[in-house]
Amino acid sequence: MGLNETGFTKQRKKLTIWLKISIFILAVVIVLGTVAGFAYWRYIYPTAEIMPGIFAVRTHNNGMPMGNFFLLEADDKYIAIDAGADKTETEKGLLKLGISADDVVAVLITHSHWDHVGSLDLFSNAVIYTGGTQHEIYPEKRHEIILNDEMIRIMGRLVQCFYTPGHTIDSVCYLVDGKYLFAGDLFVTTNDSPFEERYDKDWQLECREKMLELEDVEYIFTGHFGLFKDVEFFRRWF
């Protein structure tokens, strides 16, 4: 009788341990799911008008939300900042916004990674602007290079370009109308594993500091963390 009780006790202990492990794993899954859900809704905007005259298009990678590209209204036309990853998704996003690709007169490319340039050839009427050196991936259409610190006007909007390499050699930021900073992937979290051979973490961090020193910036738009309206919070974070 004692032996049976001992065996039962051991079995019960094993079941208790497995139950605790299962509960722990379930808790971890719930926490990770909650964090992912928060990031999905907080940092990556659904396709919509997010501010008067400024629109976000959400893009995905293998079904997972990965970032935004943006459109600014300009005299009944539009300026795109980057062009999204997937042409079909970009077309659906533009349709949802009621914006025709033919009405996009300019595309400002922050860098040439595929998730920022994948839909470029949809914008057949647009002039492509870049600030870097990687031009072989762009369609054969009108293409302009903006120099570092150069200011140009596009359909009434004042655009200033800043070279911010590190993430890629051709990475740039665009300051529009003196207060909207479109930062591309400048603020993507860095680590010791390079995204590509030319990646330079220290250079990227130096460029971050430079951009955060700009005065009069009221909004920071990122490719993967959405829009930040509290620039001081952003400065403290980075």
pLDDT confidence tier of residue 229, bands split at 50, 70 and 90? confident
Q: Which residues contact 130 (CB under 8 A, 6 or more apart)?
A: 109, 112, 138, 143, 144, 145, 146, 170, 172
Q: What is the mean pLDDT of the chain?
A: 81
Q: How far does CA 2 lie from the centroid of its chain?
A: 65
Q: In the chain, what percentage of residues exceed pLDDT 70?
A: 71
Higher-confidence residue of 147 and 229: namely 147
Q: What is the pLDDT of residues 119-160, one digit of tens each?
A: 988 998 999 999 865 555 565 666 788 999 999 999 999 999
Higher-confidence residue of 25 and 121: namely 121
Tokens coding 232: 């001081």
pLDDT value of position 192: 44
Q: Which residues contact 156 (CB under 8 A, 6 or more apart)?
A: 74, 75
Higher-confidence residue of 17 and 182: namely 182
pLDDT value of position 10: 64
Residue 2 has pLDDT above 60, yes or no: no
pLDDT value of position 52: 95
pLDDT confidence tier of residue 193, bands split at 50, 70 and 90? very low
pLDDT value of position 32: 45
Residue 190 has pLDDT above 70, yes or no: no
- Select from 3.60.15.10, 2.40.10.10, 3.30.2320.50, 2.60.120.10 the CATH code of 44-237: 3.60.15.10
Residue 38 has pLDDT above 70, yes or no: no
Indicate the pairing of strand 157-163 with strand 172-176. Answer: antiparallel
Residue 80 has pLDDT above 70, yes or no: yes
Best CA proximity match to 171, nearest among 157, 158, 154, 188: 188
Tokens coding 189: 């979290």
Q: Where are the domains of the chain?
A: 44-237
Confidence (pTM):
0.78
Residue 219 has pLDDT above 80, yes or no: yes
